[in-house]
Amino acid sequence: MFGQKAFAAETSAGAKSPEPRLEPFLNFGGVPYLKTVFDETPPKRSPTPLQLRGRALAERLRSQGKERGGMDTVSGPRIGVALGGGSARGLTHIPYIEAMDELGLKPSVISGTSIGALIGSGWAAGMTGKELREHSYEVLGTMRTIATKLWATQIRGISGILKNGISMQLDATSIVDAFTPASFPLEFKDLKVPLYVVATDFQSWHQVVFNTGLLRPAIAGSIAIPSLFKPVVYANHILVDGGVVNPLPLDQADIDTDFLIGIDVNGDPSEGIAKTDHKALDIWFGSAQIMMHSLTAHMMAAYPPDIYIRPHVANFGALEFWRVREIVAHAEIEKERFKRILADKVEAYIAGKVPVVESNPD
């Protein structure tokens, strides 16, 4: 059963339904830019034609009383962005966030599942795509860096988890605390953009949607991959990863918006010669991918996005976070094309035209 009414009915009690109209949240002071490794000021470059186009779009919006960031005005364009789950592959969200920054556009509502909820929370808190990239490089740059962070959460046997699979269950709340900036907001009300975080209630089998209350336990519940993480007990729910029920939460981003963007980082079927020596964790994640692909297909039929992006991330393992630079660089391939499609959408909105649905080729 799909559709807005169906999803509203199946959302567990204790989390806010998506039906009420959005109200402005309090502003958060933002997270300062992380320092780069270079002390010298880089030379100024001439803006590209696409950057000039983005600036012109922003100026046209301002001239019509449609400031960047739909939170600040009742006029549009109001852009909803759904950030899907996919573990380490979800780091590919970052270049698309940068693309919106470069066009001078901000979302009016963000929804996220699992890694999409984690990255989306930083975006909603006021971090730019560049800041998200630099922070990810800092905390995920090497296996040693990740191990140091995990060690600080009192987790032992780190190398076994990263290389060989599950040897123990991790605490999702401690992981969120360890890998988010110190100035990260505590509550949803402190965000600059409305955020809807999707988790799964293990007892009722329904999705739970959080957009009020404490932020970190909601994110922890959304990232709590079964077996790898202990379930998160919060708000009268036993929570596991949101991807179990809703890997690409288009339903939560399609709230009072002019057009909808979905970024699906679940991945593609493996290509080439089939392996026969998969580890248990590989089998689990691969099976979960198949399930999430089916769920996403149903969600897209019920809530078709105006722009659908699915980066090709099959070459990256679900837990290979230390390959963050490779993963982000891989997504750069589609970044400029995404900017052109998005610019067309905004221009069509300004001109009062009906936009054409676009998706990247498989």
pLDDT digits (tens, 9 = 90+) for 146-155: 777 675 665 5
Q: How confident is the model at residue 17 (pLDDT cuts 50, 70, 90)?
A: very low
User: Helices H, strands E: what count in the chain?
Assistant: 12, 9
In a domain, 27, yes or no: no
Surface-to-core class of residue 334, CB atoms within 10 Å of its CB (0-12 exposed, 13-18 middle, 19+ buried):
buried
Pick from 260, 110, 87: nearest CA to 197: 110
Residue 137 has pLDDT above 60, yes or no: yes
Which of 3-12, 42-51, 141-150, 301-310 is predicted least confidently? 3-12
Rounded mean pLDDT, 150-168? 52
Q: How confident is the model at residue 313 (pLDDT cuts 50, 70, 90)?
A: confident
Cβ atoms of residues 325 and 56 within 8 Å: no
Residue 203 has a CB neighbour count (10 Å cut-off) of 12
Q: How confident is the model at residue 277 (pLDDT cuts 50, 70, 90)?
A: low
Residue 339 has pLDDT above 90, yes or no: yes
What's the domain range around 175?
Answer: 79-359
Per-residue confidence (pLDDT) for residue 62, from 0 to 100: 53
Per-residue confidence (pLDDT) for residue 141, from 0 to 100: 73
In a domain, 11, yes or no: no
Residue 167 has a CB neighbour count (10 Å cut-off) of 11
Cβ atoms of residues 145 and 139 within 8 Å: yes
Per-residue confidence (pLDDT) for residue 103, from 0 to 100: 92
Q: How confident is the model at residue 36 (pLDDT cuts 50, 70, 90)?
A: very low
For residue 261, list its beta bridge partners. 81, 307
Rounded mean pLDDT, 165-187? 83
Q: What is the pLDDT of residues 184-196, one digit of tens each?
A: 999 999 999 999 9
Helices (H), 165-249: 172-179, 216-223
In a domain, 44, yes or no: no
Q: Which residue has the higher pLDDT, 97 or 35?
A: 97
Q: Distance (Å, rounded) from C-alpha 244 to C-alpha 238?
A: 13
Cβ atoms of residues 221 and 239 within 8 Å: yes
Per-residue confidence (pLDDT) for residue 341, from 0 to 100: 93
Per-residue confidence (pLDDT) for residue 48, from 0 to 100: 61
Per-residue confidence (pLDDT) for residue 251, from 0 to 100: 97
In a domain, 22, yes or no: no
Q: Given phi > 0 = left and psi -120 to 50 = alpha, else beta, which region is 115?
A: alpha
Q: Which residues contact 55 (CB under 8 A, 6 or more apart)?
A: 47, 104
In a domain, 28, yes or no: no
Backbone angles phi, psi at 241, to 5 degrees: -50, 135
Q: For the stretch 154-164, what's the b/e string if a residue is b when 16 or more beta carbons lie within 10 angstroms of its beta carbon?
A: ebeebeebbee
In a domain, 271, yes or no: yes
> How far is the first Cα of the chain from the last one, in angstroms, to the nearest whole number?
27
Residue 168 has pLDDT above 60, yes or no: no
Per-residue confidence (pLDDT) for residue 286, from 0 to 100: 75
Q: Distance (Å, rounded) from C-alpha 226 to C-alpha 63?
A: 49
Strands 232-234 and 207-210, by their bridges, are unpaired
Cβ atoms of residues 210 and 113 within 8 Å: no
Quote the DSSP letter at residue 23.
-
Cis ω on the peptide bond leading into residue 185 (within 30° of 0)?
A: no
Q: Distance (Å, rounded) from C-alpha 293 to C-alpha 248?
A: 9
Cβ atoms of residues 46 and 170 within 8 Å: no
In a domain, 99, yes or no: yes
Q: Output the CA torsion sign for 25, 30, 31, 33.
A: positive
In a domain, 174, yes or no: yes
**Count of structural domains, the chain:** 1
Which of 141-145, 148-152, 242-246, 322-326 is predicted least confidently? 148-152
Q: Distance (Å, rounded) from C-alpha 246 to C-alpha 199?
A: 8
Cβ atoms of residues 285 and 255 within 8 Å: no
Which of 101-110, 155-164, 166-175 is predicted least confidently? 155-164
Q: Which residue has the higher pLDDT, 98 or 351?
A: 98
Structural Rg of the chain based on CA atoms = 20
Residue linked to tokens 């991790």: 170
Q: The tokens of 187 are what?
A: 């509550």
Cβ atoms of residues 86 and 114 within 8 Å: yes
CATH number at residue 216: 3.40.1090.10
Considering the chain, what is the average pLDDT of its residues?
77
% the chain with pLDDT above 90:
47
Q: Which residue has the higher pLDDT, 47 or 196?
A: 196
Cβ atoms of residues 319 and 282 within 8 Å: no
Q: What is the pLDDT of residues 215-248, one digit of tens each?
A: 999 999 999 999 888 999 999 999 999 999 999 9
Pick from 123, 134, 53, 112: nearest CA to 263: 112
Q: The tokens of 362 are what?
A: 């498989």
Pick from 219, 215, 209, 213: nearest CA to 186: 215
